[in-house]
Amino acid sequence: MTLTVAIIAPGNMGSGVAKRLTDNRVKVLTSLTGRSAASEKRAAEAGMQAVDEEQLAQADFILSIVPPGEALALAQRLAPMLTAASHKPIYVECNAISPPTMLKVAEAIKPSGCNFVGAGIIGPPPKPGSSNTKIYAAGPFARDVATLNDYGLIIRVLDGPLTAASALKMSYAGITKGFTALGAAMMLAATRGGSAEALKAELAESQPELLKYFERAVPGMYTKAYRWVAEMDEIADFIGEEFAESEMLAMSARFYERMADDQAGHKEEIAVLNAFLGKKP
């Protein structure tokens, strides 16, 4: 029998995962209700089949791959349909959400009778021939998801509680995205203070690998900043408000909020960052 996976939604990551699966003879379903023309195009290019939401229950697995702020709402929306379905797919929550939010999603799915896996994706959308995108999975049914290792994905099962993969994702993203926010913020501050050229020269001399990282990570952040706002808030929640460092990640969310507004508007601060890094607009 053909393995069937439902992926919601066909964004950059969702369509990348779908393409890897369809290239390995997996039938991939999705819902395009309310989605943009760009989403429809990505879904078609990935070989995904658009169906009504009720038909998503025909899948063996449902992979939730949406912006973090939409994860719980998606589970709540699908739960009644999954409850009514005779076939029960495994629901795999793949989004960058904190352990408390992961447990809320699991509770939303529980009445449906579907088995639930807490997961987290580390790496960019999969590209042909690449192996740097991993899906970590945790919980009693995580080993069932490891079946997808036979179909082009890299699934790593973690021992520990249902939230173990969520905790890993939060920790990793807190380092990488938090560090990108810190670097960009200091580049802007140096420019306002009149020391941009001196800072870049010092980085090039004493921290060349660090400068190389920022040259790649900062421009790559502009179009993703809007998605990182909710993620950084989730990371702050993961740390816990009783720890002062949670405020550091919450403020990174506010920084990305500003970057997202700048990207959608006049790109004034983005122009400053590009000038610092020697990047063309």
Distance CA 259, CA 232 (A): 13
Among candidates 66, 34, 27, 65, which has minimal Cα distance to 49?
Answer: 27
Please identify which residue in the block is written with the tokens 């005779």: 86
The answer to whether 145 and 90 have CB atoms below 8 angstroms apart is: yes
- The Cα–Cα gap between 54 and 62 comes to 12
Q: How far apart are CA 144 and CA 236, in angstroms?
A: 31
Tens-digit pLDDT string for the chain (281 aa): 799 999 999 999 999 999 999 999 999 999 998 889 999 999 999 999 999 999 999 999 999 999 999 999 999 999 999 999 999 999 999 999 999 999 999 999 999 999 999 999 999 999 988 999 999 999 999 999 999 999 999 999 999 999 999 999 999 999 999 999 999 999 999 999 999 999 999 999 999 999 999 999 999 999 999 999 999 999 999 999 999 999 999 999 999 999 999 999 999 999 999 999 999 87
Domain boundaries, the chain: 4-160, 167-277
Residues near 214 by beta carbon (within 8 Å), at least 6 away in sequence: 180, 183, 184, 187, 203, 277
Classify domain 4-160 by CATH number: 3.40.50.720
Task: Please say whether the dihedral angle defined by the alpha carbons of residues 276, 279, 280 and 281, taken in this order, is positive or negative.
Answer: negative
The pTM is what?
0.94
- Look up residue 84 and give its two tokens: 């009514």
> Do 4-160 and 167-277 show the same overall fold?
no
Would you list the DSSP string of 211-243?
A: HHHHHHHHHHHTTTHHHHHHHHHHHHHHH-TTS
The contacts of residue 94 (CB under 8 Å, 6+ apart) are: 63, 64, 65, 119, 120, 121, 135
d(CA 17, CA 11): 10
235: Cα separation from own chain's centroid: 12
CATH number of 167-277: 1.10.1040
